[in-house]
């Protein structure tokens, strides 16, 4: 079965990058995957989202209409995608930025103060990684160790310092759940 | 050895072109294909190639015309409105029997339209777009891997048959990322080009590339000669993918990204016991009409991101022996598997009713 994830938030929060990292980790695991970004007149502060599908089978449509998981980093994204979530699906929510609780009673919600945690680490921009850490803890989609390998490989040798910061943020998110 | 990397469709296309020996790229930016131009701008200078951002789409296609006449592998890319601008040049290149690759990463039209994915340039790609009796070889990938592989094919086939080739993708394929294995790329096969206007060499007289024939008899002769090539390609170059067609009551026809939506829909329909099948044209010109002679569905359904442009080719291919239906969305909206499933069930009730 395919596992379908929508990541959504403001442009500039690293939503597309977070999705790319999940896709990359899936590729390293030898799984099938697709990553589809929203594109258009988006800009920093506007909304951004991406669709990531991970599967053992070849992937048909890369467009997700009923996600299994939702990683949301602002209010408008929760408003937009909450109704689309599969019953029994998972919401990971940045409680620092999303001002309301999840209305659906038939989904699993994890609230993480991701932006606050990232700020306490001195890197507000890594809230996306904190969210991924919480997501990995909740879903067990990838072991953190193999995910960390994906981070290092994706960022490349010249950015290992940044990779370490990302790994720290993922770990903080993992431990916050 | 496998060389699997995670890449956007636009970038995979650029990398495939370079690996296929393309060293001349002339572009003009437009969403949603700009990553391709950006990739070429980054890579070409490093390998001694030429990346040139032209002053307009019209200039870019004419630079391709010139480069192709000189015998090098050349490419340009754009999205729908930009392809309309290039159409005059494309007609000239076809008339000059020159090889080149033109990429259209389609967006919503007509007019300036929108920037979201669409497939409403099917007529433009398969019927001309420019003026005169000509055809392009039109290839329609449906994954990032195919964006790469069909680009390599496009260069080889275009050169072998001296026909401009078009890669017809859409905004989704251009923007999405999937793993792509470049070791699976068809190898470049370079054709001899005794016709190229690349200095005299040992030749006795100059080569001339032209498209103007003021004597009607002369012009007609060139067109008839070219038509023989088209006939050969119609006979020998049809490509498609057919699945679950043997027992299918309803065969869904779609190409490009829409075929992926159809794939999801058909899997679900099969699970529910509805005998749905798929014909996915990979070459849109020549249209893979032969497969339609081998199947016996009760109806066809063409699924497109347009108002139903491929429907005409499906009707011609099946000779209207059974009804041909259409469903789809346009203007930048991708149909959902649920919409496709609902339409198939509606048709199923009509054509498979128990009497």
**Cα distance between residue B82 and residue B92, in whole Å:** 17
Percent of chain B with pLDDT over 90: 95
- A:1-60 residues touching chain B, CB 8 A cutoff: 20, 23-24, 27, 32-37, 39-41, 59-60
Domain ranges of chain A: 3-175
Q: Which of A37, A39, A60 sits opposite B264 (nearest CB)?
A: A60
Which residues does B163 contact at the CB level (< 8 Å), separation at least 6?
A: B94, B97, B99, B135, B136, B137, B157, B229, B233
pLDDT tens for residues A88-125?
Answer: 999 999 999 999 999 999 999 999 999 999 999 999 99
Number of helices and strands in chain A (H, E): 6, 6
Under a CB-based contact definition with an 8 Å cutoff, are residues A92 and A131 in contact? yes
Angle at B284 between CA B137 and CA B249, to 5 degrees: 160
Which residues does B219 contact at the CB level (< 8 Å), separation at least 6?
A: B213
The ipTM is: 0.94
List chain B residues with CB under 8 Å of A41: 115
Residue B8 is predicted with a pLDDT of: 98
Domains and CATH numbers, chain B: 4-236 (3.40.50.970), 241-351 (3.40.50.920)
Q: Do A33 and B267 touch (CB under 8 A)?
A: no
Question: In terms of DSSP bridges, do strands A90-94 and A69-72 run parallel, antiparallel, or are they unpaired?
Answer: parallel
Is the pLDDT confidence value at A43 over 90?
Answer: no
pLDDT tens for residues B162-180?
Answer: 999 999 999 999 999 999 9
Is the pLDDT confidence value at A19 over 80?
Answer: yes
List chain A residues with CB under 8 Å of B176: 34-37, 62
Residues in chain B: 355
Classify domain A3-175 at the CATH topology level: Pyruvate-ferredoxin Oxidoreductase; domain 3 (3.40.920)
Q: Do A35 and B257 touch (CB under 8 A)?
A: no
Least Cα distance to B178 among B19, B9, B35 occurs for B9
For B199, other C-beta atoms within 10 Å of its C-beta total 9
List chain B residues with CB under 8 Å of A59: 178, 260
């Amino acid at each position: 079965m395919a596992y379908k994830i929508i990541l959504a938030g403001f442009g500039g929060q690293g939503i597309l990058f977070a999705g790319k990292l999940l896709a990359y980790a899936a590729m390293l695991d030898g799984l099938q995957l697709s990553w589809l970004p929203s594109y258009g007149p988006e800009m920093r502060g506007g909304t951004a989202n991406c669709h990531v599908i991970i599967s053992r089978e070849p992937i048909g449509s890369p467009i997700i209409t009923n996600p299994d998981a939702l990683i949301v980093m602002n209010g408008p994204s929760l408003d937009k995608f909450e109704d689309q979530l599969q019953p029994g699906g998972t919401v990971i929510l940045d409680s620092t930025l999303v001002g309301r609780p999840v209305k659906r009673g038939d989904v699993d919600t994890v609230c993480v103060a991701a932006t606050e945690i990232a700020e306490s680490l001195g890197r507000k921009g890594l809230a996306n990684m904190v969210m991924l850490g919480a997501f990995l803890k909740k879903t067990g989609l990838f072991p953190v160790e193999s995910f960390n390998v994906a981070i290092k490989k994706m960022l490349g040798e010249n950015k290992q310092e940044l990779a370490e910061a990302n790994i720290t943020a993922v770990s903080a998110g993992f431990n916050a759940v | 050895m496998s060389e699997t990397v995670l890449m956007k469709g636009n970038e995979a296309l650029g990398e495939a072109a370079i690996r296929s020996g393309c060293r001349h790229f002339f572009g003009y930016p437009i969403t949603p294909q700009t990553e391709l131009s950006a990739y070429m701008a980054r890579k070409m200078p490093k390998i001694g190639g030429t990346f040139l951002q032209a002053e307009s789409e019209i200039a870019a296609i004419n630079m391709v015309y010139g480069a192709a006449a000189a015998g090098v592998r050349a490419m340009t890319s754009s999205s729908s409105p930009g392809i309309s601008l290039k159409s005059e040049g494309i007609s000239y290149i076809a008339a000059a029997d020159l090889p080149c690759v033109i990429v259209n990463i389609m967006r919503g039209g007509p007019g300036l339209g929108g920037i979201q994915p669409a497939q409403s340039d099917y007529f433009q790609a398969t019927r001309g777009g420019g003026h005169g009796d000509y055809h392009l070889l039109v290839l329609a990938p449906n994954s990032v891997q195919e964006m790469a592989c069909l680009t390599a094919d496009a260069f080889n086939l275009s050169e072998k048959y001296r026909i401009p080739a078009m890669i017809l993708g859409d905004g989704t394929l251009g923007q999405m990322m999937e793993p792509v294995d470049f070791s699976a790329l068809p190898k470049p096969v370079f054709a001899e080009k005794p016709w190229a206007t690349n200095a005299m060499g040992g030749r006795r007289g100059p080569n001339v590339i032209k498209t103007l024939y003021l004597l009607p008899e002369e012009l007609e002769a060139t067109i008839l000669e070219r038509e023989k090539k088209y006939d050969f390609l119609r006979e020998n170059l049809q490509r498609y993918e057919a699945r679950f067609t043997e027992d299918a009551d309803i065969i869904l026809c779609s190409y490009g990204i829409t075929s992926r939506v159809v794939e999801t829909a058909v899997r679900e329909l099969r699970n529910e016991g509805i005998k749905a099948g798929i014909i996915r044209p990979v070459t849109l010109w020549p249209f893979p009409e032969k497969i339609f002679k081998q199947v016996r569905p009760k109806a066809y359904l063409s699924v497109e991101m347009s108002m139903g442009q491929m429907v005409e080719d499906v009707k011609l291919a099946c000779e209207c022996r059974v009804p041909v239906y259409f469903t789809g969305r346009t203007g930048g909206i991708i149909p959902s598997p649920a919409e496709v499933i609902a339409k198939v069930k509606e048709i199923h009730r009509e054509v498979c009713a128990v009497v």
